[in-house]
Amino acid sequence: MRRLTYLLAAALAAAAAPALAQPADVPTLIQLIDKQPAGVDRPTWKEQRRDAARKLAASGDKRAVPTLIKLADAEAFDVIGEIAIEGLGALGDKSAVPTLEKIAADSSRDRQQRDLAKKALAKLGAPATPPPPPPPPPDDRPPPPPPPDRDVPPPDDGAGTGAAIAPPDGVPDLLGTRTPAPPATDRFAPDVLAQSEQLTFAVGAASLGYDSVRDRTAFDLDASGRYARWIDRDKTAWGAEAGARVVGGYLNPEGPARSRAVIVDVDAGGQFRAYAGPGVYGIGRAVIAGQLQYLSVIRDDPMDTYKEGRTAADLGVAIGGGYGRVIDRGPRLRVRQLEALLEAGRALGRPIDDDLAAKLQSAWWDTRRDRTGFRQLAATVAILREAGVLLGEPDAATTFGLIEVLRDPSYDHRPDGIDVSLQIGEEYLLREDEPAVPEGRTELVLVTATAARQLGLASEAIAHVDARYRILADDGVPAPWRVGADATWRHFVHAAHGELVGAFDVGARLAASDDDRDDTDLGVAIGGTAGWTWVFNRASSVRAAADVTLDAGELFLGARITGSYGFLDAGFARR
Amino acid sequence: MRSLLLGFALVVATAACDGTEDADGARGSCASGGALSGCADSPATPEGACWRLVECGSLPVDAAGDGDRDWGRCVGALEGLPTGRAELVIACIASSTCDELLAPGSPHPWEWPACFAYGDQ
Q: Which of B67, B51, B69 is nearest to B108 (CA)?
A: B69
H or E segment to which residue A549 belongs: strand A540-551
Q: State how far residue B50 is from chain A, nearest Cα, in angstroms.
A: 13
Q: Which of A310, A514, A556 to mutate to test the interface with B (most CBs of B within 10 A)?
A: A556
Is residue B3 within 8 angstroms of chain A, CB to CB? yes
Q: Which of A449, A487, A482 is nearest to A467 (CA)?
A: A482
**Contact at 8 Å (CB) between A237 and A230?**
yes
Tell me, what's the pLDDT at A454?
97
Residue A279 has pLDDT above 70, yes or no: yes
Q: Is A71 exposed, middle or buried (0-12, 13-18, 19+ CB in 10 A)?
A: buried
Q: Binning pLDDT at 50, 70 and 90, where does residue A297 land?
A: confident
Task: Summarize pLDDT for A397-427 with one digit per residue, the tens.
Answer: 889 999 999 989 899 889 999 999 999 999 9
Tell me, what's the pLDDT at A301?
78
- Rounded Cα distance between A293 and A498, Å, is 48
Residue A80 has pLDDT above 80, yes or no: yes
The mean pLDDT of chain A is: 82
Say whether A297 and B43 touch across the interface (CB within 8 A). Answer: no
Strands (E), A188-235: 192-211, 216-233
Kindly tell me the sign of the dihedral angle through the C-alpha atoms of A146, A148, A149, A153: negative
Q: State how far residue B104 is from chain A, nearest Cα, in angstroms.
A: 9
Is residue B85 within 8 angstroms of chain A, CB to CB? yes
**Pick from A267, A427, A552: which is nearest to B23 by CB?**
A552
Residue A433 has pLDDT above 70, yes or no: no
Tell me, what's the pLDDT at B45?
86
Q: Which of A86-100, A274-288, A479-493, A497-511 has the lowest mean pLDDT?
A: A86-100
Residue A564 has pLDDT above 80, yes or no: no
- φ/ψ bin of A411: left (φ > 0), alpha (ψ from -120 to 50), beta (otherwise): alpha
**Pick from A293, A298, A314: which is nearest to B96 by CB?**
A293
Residues of A within 8 A of B32 (CB-CB) are 442, 468, 470, 478, 480
Kindly tell me the sign of the dihedral angle through the C-alpha atoms of A175, A179, A185, A186: negative
Q: Which of B20, B30, B52, B88 to mutate to test the interface with A (most CBs of A within 10 A)?
A: B88
Say whether B14 and A269 touch across the interface (CB within 8 A). Answer: no
Residues of A within 8 A of B3 (CB-CB) are 204, 560, 562-563
Say whether B26 and A525 touch across the interface (CB within 8 A). Answer: yes
The mean pLDDT of chain B is: 79
Q: Which of A413, A458, A67, A550 is nearest to B62 (CA)?
A: A550
**Contact at 8 Å (CB) between A564 and A540?**
yes
Task: Please give the single-letter amino acid code of residue A354.
Answer: D
Tell me, what's the pLDDT at B20?
46
Please state, in angstroms and as integers, the Cα–Cα distance from residue A234 to each residue in A191, A224, A323, A450, B20, following that order. Answer: 5, 34, 14, 19, 58
Task: Please give the single-letter amino acid code of residue A145.
Answer: P
Q: State how far residue A549 is from chain B, nearest Cα, in angstroms.
A: 10
Residue A385 has pLDDT above 70, yes or no: yes
**Pick from A220, A258, A551: which is nearest to B87 by CB?**
A220
Residues of A within 8 A of B23 (CB-CB) are 521, 551-554
Tell me, what's the pLDDT at A112?
75
- SS (HEC) of A67-118: HHHHHHHHCCCCHHHHHHHHHHHHHCCHHHHHHHHHHHHCCCCCHHHHHHHH
- Rounded Cα distance between A196 and A572, Å, is 6
Is residue B35 within 8 angstroms of chain A, CB to CB? yes
Residue A144 has pLDDT above 70, yes or no: no
Q: State how far residue B17 is from chain A, nearest Cα, in angstroms.
A: 7
Is residue B5 within 8 angstroms of chain A, CB to CB? yes
**Which residues, listed in sequence order, are joined to residue A443 by a DSSP beta bridge?**
A426, A471
- Rounded Cα distance between A70 and A290, Å, is 64
Neighbours of A568 (CB within 10 A): 14
Torsion from C-alpha of A324, A457, B1, B93, nearest 10 degrees = -50
Is residue B80 within 8 angstroms of chain A, CB to CB? no
**Which residues, listed in sequence order, are joined to residue A268 by a DSSP beta bridge?**
A242, A288
**Which residues, listed in sequence order, are joined to residue A231 by a DSSP beta bridge?**
A195, A238
Q: Binning pLDDT at 50, 70 and 90, where does residue B11 land?
A: very low
Q: Which of A231-245, A349-363, A476-490, B12-26 has the lowest mean pLDDT?
A: B12-26
Tell me, what's the pLDDT at A146?
42
CA A88, A91, A95: angle at the middle one, nearest 5?
A: 60
Say whether B36 and A444 touch across the interface (CB within 8 A). Answer: yes
**Contact at 8 Å (CB) between A150 and A117?**
no
Q: State how far residue A545 is from chain B, nearest Cα, in angstroms.
A: 10
Residues of B within 8 A of A302 (CB-CB) are none
Residue B36 has pLDDT above 80, yes or no: yes
Q: Which of A416, A208, A388, A245 is nearest to A329 (CA)?
A: A416
Residue A198 has pLDDT above 60, yes or no: yes
**Which residues, listed in sequence order, are joined to residue A311 by a DSSP beta bridge?**
A292, A432
**Pick from A312, A436, A563: which is nearest to B4 by CB?**
A563
Say whether B120 and A524 touch across the interface (CB within 8 A). Answer: no
Residue A565 has pLDDT above 70, yes or no: no
Between these two residues, A485 and A77, which has the higher pLDDT value? A485
- Those residues with Cβ within 8 angstroms of residue A99's Cβ, 6 or more apart along the chain or in another chain: A69, A72, A73, A88
Residues recorded for chain B: 121
- SS (HEC) of B1-48: CEEECCCCEEEEEECCCCCCCCECCCCCCCCCCCHHHCCCCCCCCHHH
Residue A322 has pLDDT above 90, yes or no: yes
Q: Binning pLDDT at 50, 70 and 90, where does residue A141 land?
A: very low
Say whether A259 and B91 touch across the interface (CB within 8 A). Answer: no
Neighbours of A415 (CB within 10 A): 18
Residue B71 has pLDDT above 70, yes or no: yes
The SS3 call for residue A390 is: strand
- Rounded Cα distance between A572 and B7, Å, is 38
Residue B120 has pLDDT above 80, yes or no: no
Is residue B4 within 8 angstroms of chain A, CB to CB? yes
Tell me, what's the pLDDT at A105?
82
Please give the average per-residue pLDDT across A460-468, as a whole number.
97
Q: State how far residue A564 is from chain B, nearest Cα, in angstroms.
A: 5
Residue A149 has pLDDT above 50, yes or no: no
Task: Summarize pLDDT for A55-67 with one digit per residue, the tens.
Answer: 888 888 888 888 8
> What value of ipTM does the predicted structure carry?
0.81
Residues of A within 8 A of B107 (CB-CB) are 515, 517, 519-520
Tell me, what's the pLDDT at B118?
81
Tell me, what's the pLDDT at A163?
32
Is residue B99 within 8 angstroms of chain A, CB to CB? yes
Is residue B47 within 8 angstroms of chain A, CB to CB? yes
- Rounded Cα distance between A29 and A56, Å, is 7
Please give the average per-residue pLDDT across A41-49, as a whole number.
79
Percent of chain A with pLDDT over 90: 36
- Rounded Cα distance between A248 and B115, Å, is 12
Q: Which of A427, A442, A551 to mutate to test the interface with B (most CBs of B within 10 A)?
A: A551
H or E segment to which residue A3 belongs: helix A2-15
- φ/ψ bin of A236: left (φ > 0), alpha (ψ from -120 to 50), beta (otherwise): beta
- Rounded Cα distance between B54 and B50, Å, is 6
Residues of B within 8 A of A258 (CB-CB) are 121
- Rounded Cα distance between A546 and A531, Å, is 6
**Which residues, listed in sequence order, are joined to residue A240 by a DSSP beta bridge?**
A229, A270
H or E segment to which residue B71 belongs: helix B71-79
**Pick from A261, A523, A564: which is nearest to B92 by CB?**
A261
Between these two residues, A36 and A1, which has the higher pLDDT value? A36
Neighbours of A149 (CB within 10 A): 6
Say whether A291 and B100 touch across the interface (CB within 8 A). Answer: yes
Please state, in angstroms and as integers, the Cα–Cα distance from residue A230 to each residue in A82, A237, A239, A349, following that order. Answer: 43, 8, 4, 34
**Pick from B85, B95, B104: which is nearest to A263 by CB?**
B95
**Contact at 8 Å (CB) between A549 and A527?**
yes
- SS (HEC) of A453-510: EECCCCEEEEEEEEEEEEECCCCCCCCCEEEEEEEEEEEEEECCCCCEEEEEEEEEEE
Task: Summarize pLDDT for B76-90 with one digit per residue, the tens.
Answer: 999 998 877 888 899
Percent of chain B with pLDDT over 90: 31
**Pick from A204, A428, A553: which is nearest to B1 by CB?**
A204
Say whether B118 and A295 touch across the interface (CB within 8 A). Answer: yes
Please give the average per-residue pLDDT across A317-331, as a whole number.
96
Please give the average per-residue pLDDT across A190-214, as a whole number.
80
Neighbours of A73 (CB within 10 A): 18
Q: Binning pLDDT at 50, 70 and 90, where does residue A137 land?
A: very low
User: Chains A and B: how many Cβ contacts under 8 Å?
Assistant: 257
Q: Which of A240-249, A419-428, A443-452, B109-118 has the lowest mean pLDDT?
A: B109-118
Residue A170 has pLDDT above 70, yes or no: no
Tell me, what's the pLDDT at B23?
85
Say whether A551 and B25 touch across the interface (CB within 8 A). Answer: yes
- Rounded Cα distance between B44 and B3, Å, is 5
- Those residues with Cβ within 8 angstroms of residue A145's Cβ, 6 or more apart along the chain or in another chain: none
